[in-house]
Amino acid sequence: MLGQIAALGTAMCWTVTSVSFEAAGKRVGSFQVNLIRLVIAFGIFTVYATAVHGKPLPIDAGAHIWIWLSLSGLVGFVLGDLFLFQAFVDVGARTAMLIYSSVPPITAIIGWLILGETLTISQIFGMVVTVLGIMIVVTVRKKIPAPELATPAIGRPDHAADRRRRHHRVRGTWFAFLGALGQAFGLVLSRYGAPTYDPFAATQIRALAGVVGFALLFFFTRRWHRIGVALRDRRALFLMTRGAFFGPFLGVSLGLYAAQRAGTGIAATLIATVPVILIPVAVFKNHEHVTVREVFGAVVAVAGVAILFLS
């Protein structure tokens, strides 16, 4: 039962992480959140490694592990999360994570193309069901309250604001898919580079590569001044610290532990309940209106993931 409990713990961790980073991104920008949360996570990993293994870095890892895990960190943490975090801001954590639940079928396809892994009929059916559930939710058209559409002067619809909202929704949808694609490639690279290496040490290497990647982006885009602004926002700093602990550190580690104890099928199915967990969060915490169609789409998406990994 420890594996199943760890998988459910992972789902809870990703729920806290997605909500935390969505709120922090809206306060200080998703670009800043990406770098700061990785620095915080790397610090947590360093403290953990020193306390448990007596050394701050996984210096026992060979060149093969360092190279492929570093590439995995750049693809997953930098490119994938860069798109995903902006999707949190554009369409919200719940919709972004629903689209993000397409990571399992995308990973299966990439594994087939790159690693030669085969797909069964039931796995293909699982991917179709997952995508169908995602599209059910993404295509929900929510009504916008009249005060948001009207201008104070003449009370007519603000078409420019409406177009901006549609633009953010479309962009956020695509960014969430690109984030899922980056995560899938990152998983394949991790599996190839270190299939049996310690999960905490492996994630620390990936986090270090992510820090270097984002630092280079900040250097070339000349955005270092925004880091200082973000760090002075105490609420955002708290949200980023909480997200870093429950995300890159605890969430990833629990997920790998669950896969080892309960098997990847059961673990992945339980972890994929994040979209369902986010729905009551949206209702009770954010006081959002959730339609029956959104609930149905979430259930269908999770059922597709279950079919894919239990087949």
pLDDT digits (tens, 9 = 90+) for 80-107: 888 887 887 788 866 787 787 777 777 7
Q: Tell me, what's the pLDDT at 84?
A: 83
Range of lowest pLDDT (29-38, 127-136, 168-177, 204-213): 127-136
Q: How far apart are CA 182 and CA 80, in angstroms?
A: 4
Q: How far apart are CA 138 and CA 97, in angstroms?
A: 11
Q: Among the ranges 19-23, 42-46, 127-131, 143-147, which has the highest mean pLDDT value?
A: 42-46
pLDDT in tens, 187-208: 778 878 777 788 889 889 999 9
Say if CB 208 and CB 41 are below 8 A apart: no
Q: How far apart are CA 274 and CA 302, in angstroms?
A: 9
Torsion of CA 41, 208, 205, 182, to 10 degrees: 90
Q: How far apart are CA 20 and CA 281, in angstroms?
A: 12
155 CB neighbour count, 10 Å cutoff: 10
Q: How far apart are CA 228 and CA 109, in angstroms?
A: 41
Q: How far apart are CA 140 and CA 145, in angstroms?
A: 16
- pTM of this structure: 0.76
Say if CB 89 and CB 30 are below 8 A apart: yes
Residue 274: closest CA among 15, 92, 20: 15
Examine the pLDDT at 274 and tell me if it is beyond 60: yes
Residue 190: closest CA among 169, 206, 177, 168: 206
Q: Tell me, what's the pLDDT at 244?
A: 92
